[in-house]
């Protein structure tokens, strides 16, 4: 099984893709200095093995490595992930 997380900028969302099929999304709204994560969803039949966490982690890593945007976690799943992983909290204070 191959898995990747990609940023679909045309649709303003990160996608978790397994074997060529989108299994999860993390939608966002981008401004000049912020990226607001608004909704995260993994298809019901694939809500196992930490897929949502891997999706959010990869999205946050991409923001950290490729931008200087401040993360605003409006989605409860993203907010919980950041709360549970202190090394991502600096993204809230950029």
42-62 pLDDT, tens per residue?
988 777 778 999 999 999 999
Distance CA 37, CA 51 (A): 17
Class of domain 3-93: alpha beta
pTM of the predicted protein model: 0.93
Spatial neighbors of 4 by CB under 8 A, at least 6 apart, are 16, 17
pLDDT of the residue at 72: 98
Cα–Cα distances in angstroms (integers) from residue 20 to residues 41, 46, 50, 54, in the given order: 17, 14, 19, 17
pLDDT of residue 7: 98
Map out the domains of the chain as residue ranges: 3-93
Residue 20, Ramachandran bin (φ over 0: left; ψ between -120 and 50: alpha; else beta): left
């Amino acid at each position: 099984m191959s898995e990747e997380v990609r940023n679909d900028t045309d649709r303003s969302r990160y996608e978790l893709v397994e074997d060529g099929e989108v299994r999860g999304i993390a939608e966002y709204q981008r401004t000049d200095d912020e990226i607001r994560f608004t909704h995260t969803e993994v298809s019901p039949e694939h809500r196992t093995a930490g897929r949502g966490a891997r999706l959010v982690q990869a999205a946050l890593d991409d923001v950290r490595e490729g931008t200087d945007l401040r993360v605003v976690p409006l989605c409860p799943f993203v907010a919980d992930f950041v709360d549970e992983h202190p090394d991502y909290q600096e993204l809230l204070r950029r």
